[in-house]
Structure 1
Amino acid sequence: MIKISKSNCLKAGIVTMLAFCSLDNIYAQRELTNVNSIYDEQHPVPHPNGDLYYSLGLHPQNIGGQQDLGDIWRSPKTGVSEWGSPVHLKGISTGGNDVVVGFTSENTMLVYHDGTSRKQGIHQYVLSGSTWAYEKALNMGSFRNNSRHFSGRLNEAGNIMVLSLESFGSYGNEDIYVSFLQSNGSWSSPQNLGPTINTYKQEMTPSLSKDGLTLYFSSNGHGTTGGRNIFYSQRLDQSWERWTAPVPLSDINSPGVELAYIELGDMAMFTTTQNSEGFGDILLISKVSIAAADTTEDPIYPEEEEAGPDMVNEVTQEINVGEVEEAVALDVKEVTPPKTPPVIIEDDRVSEPEKMVIGDITVLDINTLEEIPYTTSVVDESANTGQTEAGSVYSEDIDIRISAKGYFPQVLNVRVLHQMTEPIYLTPIVKGASIVLDDIYFKKGTSDLADDRSTANLQKIAEFLNDNPDIKIRLEGHTDNLGDPQLNKELSMNRAGQIRNFLVEQGISFERIRVSGWGGSRPVASNQTEEGRNKNRRVEMVIEE
């Protein structure tokens, strides 16, 4: 779900036929009148049976009310290129941003949640009868989204996801990443597609062609002069880092915002604000014909923007919980429009600080749904120190850590906590769960810690272990593949050992910490780029028992 500039005008409520002519093609675009409403339809994803799932933003029936960026809605297929009135899927929606990524089968769906009430990441639901039940969170390595925006889709084969995130190695705002299904059922850490695709601006709503060679995405970069346009680019090799220069789909782009182009056999679907006064409408179109790329030529790469610093990723692991959707039918023709003009939002990350109050918080075990005792603390201790409590007032845009003994902590922005009315769910610590310690830095070629920041972050790891005295961990050191393999293995072992020594000095029992060094034998990204090598140089903490 993408936030777009809003207007207080209503959408058109009739079937719209639009003809766009070029030298080569004429594309007829048809609005889905039973689906589109006066609100913001975005990110359509078809189910294998033809039903249409999508995110609907700013609707008063959404879980988070009219400021909710997107709940999941479904429109049943009623005929050839026809869909019926939508149904609100409350059981797979939260009070935050929810986006369907795709279907691995008719009975399995992948959904992104932004962390408002479920852990940030991509979650799996299974169809039980006529309802969707929660199954687990996907293990995606160092998955982390630092933006409130998210979009992404699963390929037709169900083994590749293309994702729009602001994450490790982003060139500016949201970039496009790729993740691959692994043999053990987990997914690889998202890999940035590189500077041919990604700019210092926003790249969003990616999807792949059936053969996996053509990438469609939207961007306000690549020479776009207004709104966001849809582009395509073709992959030149298996690295997923060499692409042809992006080309706009000029026959369907408009002065408004076009997003979420996806192929549907001989047809295609996308969203536009052209005739909806700032809100997204879903349109159907004949698929745009694209000639195959000439893979004998090297692509032209624009100058790289400096990547920002890495951030610690949150842990994801499998959880079994049965949460059932509640389907509520809605007749879009009878919806009453908002009486007050929506707020125009151009970039929600540029805003003045305001005072925020943390109210009473309910924290539940995500498996049993039983209430658990917890503590809260400020992540950035320069803004505040010590424990927080209900009624605490903050004038800074800071993060709050919610912790409980035997559970992985969750970090939420104080603005989210200020508005939150639903419980927070914490995940029990289980064997095999892991976290990448991205904020621990070493001096080049040594096992010596690089700075005070690294020491401070290790102190937080010691506090976590002191709060959970029954768990044992394994520290795994990794390097890139440059240099002598044996020396790399020794260096990775020494770095893991250095962290263990520090934790032991903080009072953690030596017997609770095992170490191993893998050198460059277990990369999570390509070693052909400096960005990939930076990701591969890491230490992971794995829960042993």
Structure 2
Amino acid sequence: MRIFLIFFLFTVHVCHAQQEVRWACKVIETDETYRGKWFSPEHVLGVPNVYPGFAGRESGYAWIAGYNEKGYIEYDTYVKVGFCDPIIAKQIVVVESCNPGAITSITVIEASGNTSRVYNKKAETCAEKSRVLSIPLKRIKTPVVALLITTSGKGSKGWNYIDAIGVASTEEPVDVSINLSKDVALIGNSTPLGDEINTKYTESYPIISSDGEILYFARLGDPKNIGNPEKTDIWYSNRTADGKWSHAQNIGKPLNNEGHNFVSSMTPDVNTLLIANTYKPDGSSLGDGVSVTNHTSSGWELPTQVNLKEFENLNQYTSYFLAADGKTMLMGIQMKDSYGDLDLYVSFRNADKSWTKPMNLGRTVNTFQSEATPFLASDGKTLYFGSTGHMGYGGYDIFMSKRLDDTWKNWSKPINLGPKINTDAGELGFSVPASGDVAYTYAWRNEVYHSDIYVVALSPSVKPEPVTIISGRVLDAKTGKPLGAKIEYDILATGVNTGIANSNPTTGSYKIVLPGGNTYGYRAQVPGYFSVNENITIDAKSTYTEIKVDLLLVPIESGQKVELKNVFFHQSTPNLIETSYPELDRMVEVLKTNPTVRIELDGHTDNQGDAALNLALSEKRVETVKAYLVSKGIDNKRITTRAFGGTKPIAPNNTEENRKKNRRVEIIIL
């Protein structure tokens, strides 16, 4: 007889608030020889993979008792089951997702040492295609610490699939239902994209740009693939003026080679791609891992490997995602602290461009099965991912969860995105533009076994929170020439950097995505230039918005003028507001980097009130700025000041918004 021991963990709240349910969490003993990816005993762990009402079909995410690599063997199996968090159980629940009837006995072992056989029956083929086997427990006095379960393949025909094993604290039926959103009916039907993208070959892993204008995806089997048609290549399509997609093109070398190639994510500026696997210096495939590539004036550069501290992956599969801020990376990997198979982790970019040790997202998101293909929406909070460990329709389903705080450990209960997105065929890969109105995914939904890419409209409750896209060009303020620049944006009140981006070195185009609920400062930086800093306040309840702003960089040359847009004073005083310090600190760094540069600080006010008082106020304010710079190590002799009061407005003084523009400090490079 074969023996395995399973521990139970987790409380599931069901219809009756008093009922507690424990699902298997760990296989600690079994003489099953098969330990493959599919059908192994580990697949009884956690909640059922497939809702019993949608079961009755074969699935690789359930355990087949007695299965081995040569196929099903009809012999008896003997199972010992234990509990991590014992309860006084009133019933045992076994979810047999397909061809039930192989279980022949179950014996309960209590903490007191008492044992009692509570189920005894010959194996037989049941009329039901699937079932939830519920066994009442009448005489249990102490917590149930173990179960003995026997199965047999001799009396039933075909393979018996056991999806989950649990115990409950009451006799009421256990609610094994899918956690759906209240407005799941409002989710649109999944619609395949046209022939410009979907072909007779296999399309997968769609990644949509933040503005919804570029779609990257992987294609397998196309003779136009680089090196090996039987490996995936990166393809892309652009949205045309009429809203349709252009005929997809192979992105070519150096991103495609003889190995598997696909885009894991792209930054909002579409100038940086996170690429699966790694590359040798000659462009050939190096192996597993993840790489990053940037768009240069001559095209995409050879991807370089991303190195994460103390990284390990104990699984043959991986998935990665670079968030919109360019500083947060999510991944589906298996480490020593994983709860089951693949878990979702997060890593953060350090100032030296290294990445922190991956941190597990915790038990709300991760299960005893697999979580993979994370996609963090532009709001930085809404996470979409594939899972076999949360209850669904079979195989991998797509789920949504919201990040509740900055620990990255607290998440809302994952919501299954419903039958218009998820099927028993399994779904992986989910990509949402910044607008949040639709999603792109891929699935096997045709008679020929290959996947296509689909688009689906999202319902309000599963959309990400609204964001604002700011885009434009980075230009030389003197010549109008486009510049390749590093873009940074901060929380203005604290100066804490919240994201990075790059502008296209050929066109100067850039794009950043800002979540609501903060006032931001943002700027472009290029050596040899003063950056002009912009700021914007985005209300937490704002709708999705797109704003165009060109960023003008002032060359460090005599006679050039720079406005300090993020330097602020308390009303009618020369006292700096603390939000001014980050911009002044950046100015200090520029002056230290260019030690021969001398500047003049010009102070201006609006025209409200007494002109003499305004002149005096503008003089005191520039002296305050000068004093701050000197306190940070800038030579007093390099800075002169001039005051103009309200005599040189740059806007009419007819509104408060315009008067705010006139209250300013400017730098003149001498």
Q: TM-score, normalised by structure 2?
A: 0.38
| Structure ranking higher on relative contact order (CA contacts 8 Å, 6+ apart) | 1
Q: TM-score, normalised by structure 1?
A: 0.46
Greater percentage in strand: 2
